[in-house]
Amino acid sequence: MKNLILSGLPGKIVLVASNNPDAKGLEVARNLKINTDVINHRKFKDRVSFDLALATRLAEYEPDLIILAGFMRILSDAFLSQFAGKVLNIHPSLLPSFPGTKTHSNALKSGVRLHGCTVHFVTSQLDAGPIIIQAAVPVMQIDTPESLATRVLREEHKIYPMAVRWFLEEKLSILNNKVLLNDEVQKSDSLIFPFSKKSCA
């Protein structure tokens, strides 16, 4: 989250919200004079109730884009239907390989030679939304889940801001579950892609 805030992206970050009152990102955001809020999922009877409360709170800020950063809860249709095509996530694997958790351990167990990260639009199907950009790292024989995670994180810090920038500069569109880029991006030598207008949450 801090990496995104400090990346000089176009638009304005209007809110940093968390379901965890103790999330470190909240303090970081406050120190940077960004609005924060906590919608504690433990205070709701079920996932849908929480998602509706979260959606209601975010809607007050009229965000053009919602960026997930370390948000570990699966969002339901109750939330996503209100922000269709406006929610981005970064996942620590080369999707569709290794969705869900423990991606680095699973990559090592599987014997793959390449691992990495993926920025994608969020849909109701876990880690299966349209892919915007991916970055790969080699898997070394001496790797542990921790060493592999460290190298992947460096790539996450590169590609997530790029994808967000493309979104904010309205250079992305989705067709048949695939992300399409406009001519400007397609003609560049960049490996990356974005989407949206002015405000992020």
Instruction: Enumerate the active-site residues.
Output: 91
Query: Burial code of 19-53, b = ≥16 C-beta within 10 A, e = fewer?
Result: bbeebebbebbeeeebeebebebeebeeeeebbeb
Contact residues for 162 (Cβ-Cβ < 8 A; gap 6+):
133, 190, 192, 193, 194
DSSP letter at 38? E
Q: CB-based burial of residue 106 (10 Å sphere; 0-12 exposed, 13-18 middle, 19+ buried)?
A: middle
Query: Burial code of 137-158, b = ≥16 C-beta within 10 A, e = fewer?
Result: bebeeebeeeebbebbeebbbe
